[in-house]
Amino acid sequence: MMNFDRSMDDFFYFPLNKEKKSLNNIGLIIMMSLLFFGVIPRGQAHSFNEIISFGDSLTDIGNVSGLTQEGSSPVIDGYYKETHFCDNVLWVEQLAEYWELPTRTPGRGGTTSLSPQPLGNTWAWGGSEASDSAIQPPGVTELIPNLLTEVSEYLNHNEPNNSTLFAIWSGANNLLEGRKFGPLAAIDAVNAVTQSMIDLEQRGARHFLIFNLPKLGDTPKGQSDIWVRDAADIYSLLYNIELKEQLRKFRRDRNFKGRIYLVDTYTKLKLIVDTVNSGETYTPTFFVPGPPVSITNVRGMALDVFNETGTYPNNYLFWDDLHPTTVTHQIIVGLILQATQARRAMLPHEIPGLLSP
């Protein structure tokens, strides 16, 4: 029987490499100390020359808005530039700025009526699913590409660089928009993610930033209905369990040459919700770039405050009924820095007990 109550700490998946390397234990301790205690500047610890990202509205910075009717998100007053599903910049923009990488620009091929932008770096489409088909989200005037099409369009116009970080955050819409539920839906979504990784790796990609799903039942939309909440929570767990297993298969596959950095959004966002629901204020205990973060509201929507006052609160977890605020995206950047920097000096098979077989 599956234990759905266990900590998602077990779901972390660390950098992969099949080449055996001999590392001195003292050297490991020194490197960990330097990274964790800030002797090495955090902003300089990475070695990526670019971030290429795929996914849905959690990453889209202006693709689907070009096909969205006025009055449907994100083409609504209050949404950042009426292109973002958020009150301000997303995680990928914050991370790129912190790492001093080029400005984020939408990337797309020619599968829609919008003009292609093959040199863009952010190929996500709001409303897309982790699948190989197309979908037409509510309020969007035509079909948009799903994850595998996003990746194939990128590969049709670009050759992956082995110093680029390829980010994939996809799968929530398979339940929330597609109305599909159950183990097969979760497996299908994860299969689309892993196939995207394979397609990119076979063309030369070597660094993958992979996100698991947060506890979808904690969103305002999930909280609005008991059945929706329970279905969303179970789907999240099924997805994350399947993702964990598939990433372990990559670890055992000596033909897969990539390093994988898993961002555990499930555990951290659940901790935020539990902390605030217990009457406390959530403040990160790890490094988060940008202004100080304090979350005190995990049930309401910051959009409601904007509609009432014209101001943006900075203490909300959620912007609308599904999407996080820019402050939450800021926390996610902190999680990404943990995944990509603090453990970059080591490989999983070289640290006894770090991963179960």
Classify residue 206: in a domain, yes or no: yes
Q: For residue 265, which of 216, 322, 318, 197 has the smallest C-alpha distance?
A: 216
Number of Cβ atoms within 10 Å of the Cβ of 102 = 10
Q: What is the mean pLDDT of residues 6-18?
A: 34
The reply to whether 278 falls in a domain is no
Residue 298 within any structural domain of the chain = no
Question: Between the CA of residue 70 and those of 59, 66, 322, what are the distances in Å?
Answer: 20, 10, 19
Average pLDDT over residues 80-88: 98
How many whole angstroms from its chain centre is CA 347? Answer: 22
Residue 139 lies in a domain: yes
Establish if 274 belongs to a structural domain: no
Could you report the per-residue pLDDT of 99-120, keeping only the tens digit for each? 999 999 999 999 999 999 999 9
Q: What is the mean pLDDT of residues 15-37?
A: 39
pLDDT over 90 for what percent of the chain? 75
pTM: 0.84
Confidence of residue 341 (pLDDT cuts 50, 70, 90): confident
Tens of pLDDT, residues 152-211: 999 999 999 999 999 999 999 987 555 556 678 889 999 999 999 999 999 999 999 999
Choose the weakest-confidence range: 225-234, 284-293, 305-314: 225-234
Question: Which alpha helices (DSSP H) does 253-352 contain, by range?
Answer: 265-277, 302-309, 326-337
**Measured between alpha carbons, how far is 135 from 127 in angstroms, rounded to an integer?**
8
Please report the pLDDT score of residue 228 as a whole number.
84
Q: Over 50: is that where the pLDDT of 343 sits?
A: no
The pLDDT assigned to 46 comes to 65
Flag whether 165 is in a domain. yes
Give Cβ neighbours of residue 182 (< 8 Å, ≥ 6 apart): 235, 238
Taking 60 as the threshold, does the pLDDT of residue 256 lie above it?
Answer: yes
Structural domain count of the chain: 1
Q: Phi and psi (nearest 5°) for 51?
A: -120, 125
Domain of residue 334 covers 8-266+325-350
**The predicted structure's pLDDT at residue 35:** 41
Q: What is the CATH number of the domain that holds 338?
A: 3.40.50.1110
Quote the pLDDT of residue 231.
Answer: 87
Give the pLDDT band of residue 12 (cuts 50, 70, 90).
very low
Half-sphere exposure of 8 (CA within 13 A, CB side): 24
Specify the DSSP element, H or E, that contains 234. Answer: helix 226-252
- Residue 272 forms part of a structural domain: no
Kindly compute the dihedral angle of the four CA atoms of residues 64, 211, 269, 171, in this order, to the nearest 10 degrees. 50
Nearest to 92 by CA among 129, 134, 63, 54: 54
Q: Establish if 133 belongs to a structural domain.
A: yes
